[in-house]
Structure 1
Amino acid sequence: MEYVNKIKEYYEILTKSEKKVADYILSQGEKLIYTTMGEVKAQTGVGDATIVRFCQKIGYSGFSELKIDIAKEDFSQMKEQEQVADLFEHAARQLVTAIDETKHSFEMDKIDEVSQLIVSARHVYIYGVGASGQSGLDLERMLIKVGIPSTAIIDSHYQAQSATIVTPQDVVIVFSLSGKTKDTFDTVKIAKDKGANIVVITSYGLSPIAQLADVVLKTAIEEHLLNGGSLAGRISQLFLSDVLVRNIEDKFATGKEDLRAEVLRSVMNKMI
Structure 2
Amino acid sequence: MIYEKSVIPIIESKYTLFTNTEKKIADYFLQCDTNMDINIQSVAEKLYVSQASISRFAKKCGFVGFREFIFAYLDSARVKKPNGNTTTQNVFNTYQDLLNKAYSLLDNDQVQRIVKMLVNSKKVIAVGKGSSGYAASEMESRFVRVGLDIDSLTDSDRIRMQSVFLKDGDTVIAFSISGKTEDVIFLLKHAHDRGKRTVFFTAADSPHLHEFCDEVVLVASLEYLENGNLISPQFPMLLVLDLIYSEYINIDSVYKSAILEDTVTTLNKKEDDRRFYLARPR
TM-score (norm 2): 0.61
Q: CA deviation at 1:149?
A: 1.0
Structure-1 separation of matches of 2:232 and 2:102: 11
Q: Which amino acid aligns with 2:248?
A: I
Matched, 1:241 2:236: no
Distance 1:230 1:268 in 2: 35
- Pairing 1:144–2:134 present: no
- Does structure 1 conserve the Cα–Cα contact (< 8 Å) formed by 2:131 and 2:234? yes
Confirm or deny: 8 A CA contact 1:164 1:194 kept in the other structure.
Answer: no
- The residue type paired with residue 189 of structure 1 is K
Q: C-alpha displacement at 1:183, in angstroms?
A: 2.0
Residue in structure 1 matched with residue 89 of structure 2 by the alignment: 89
Could you say if the C-alpha distance between residues 231 and 119 of structure 1 is closer, same or farther in structure 2, counting changes exceeding 3 Å? same
Q: Taking structure 1 as reference, are residues 218 and 172 closer, same or farther at Cα in structure 2, changes over 3 Å only?
A: same
Corresponding residue of 2:187: 187
Offset of residue 188 of structure 1: 1.2
Contact 2:125–2:152 at 8 Å: present in 1 too?
yes
Separation in 1, partners of 2:98, 2:151:
26
Instruction: State the identity as a percent.
Output: 19
d(CA) in 1 for partners of 2:96 and 2:87? 15
Shift of 1:199: 0.7
Task: Report how far residue 166 of structure 1 moved.
Answer: 1.4
Aligned to 2:12: none
Change in 2 beyond 3 A, CA 1:114/1:218: same
Q: Helix, strand or coil: the match of 2:220?
A: coil
Measured on the aligned residues, the alpha-carbon RMSD in Å equals 3.0
Q: Distance in 2 between matches of 1:110 and 1:191?
A: 20
The 3-state SS of whatever aligns with 1:216 is strand
Distance 2:84 2:121 in 1: 50
- SS of the equivalent of 1:101 reads helix
1:197 aligns with 2:197: yes
Q: Report deviation, 1:248.
A: 0.4
Stretches of 4+ aligned residues off by more than 6 angstroms: 227-230
Matches within 5 A, 1:97-116: 97-116=97-116
| 1:7 alignment partner in structure 2 | none
Give the conservation status (yes or no) of the 8 Å contact 1:201–1:218. yes
Q: Deviations over 1:126-147 (max 9, x none)?
A: 0111100011101111101111
Q: Deviations over 1:40-92 (max 9, x none)?
A: xxxxxxxxxxxxxxxxxxxxxxxxxxxxxxxxxxxxxxxxxxx9964332222
Cα deviation, residue 25, structure 1: 5.5
Match of 1:170?
A: 170
* 256-265 vs 190-199, which moves further: 256-265
> SS state of the match for residue 233, structure 1?
coil
Closer/same/farther in 2, CA of residues 217 and 143 from structure 1, 3 Å limit: same
Q: May I ask how many residue pairs the two structures share in their alignment?
A: 196
| SS class of match (2:233) | helix
Q: 1:27 to 1:216 in 2, by over 3 A?
A: closer
After TM superposition, give the deviation of residue 215 of structure 1 in Å.
1.2
Q: Could you tell me how far apart the structure 2 residues matched to 1:193 and 1:248 are?
A: 27
| Structure (1/2) with the larger helix percentage | 1
Name stretches of at least 5 consecutive residues in structure 1 with no aligned partner. 1-23, 33-82
**What is the match of residue 58 of structure 1?**
none
What CA distance in whole angstroms lies between the structure 1 residues aligned with 2:22 and 2:265? 59
- CA distance, structure 1, for counterparts of residue 142 and residue 103 of structure 2: 19
Give, in angstroms, the shift of residue 180 of structure 1: 1.4
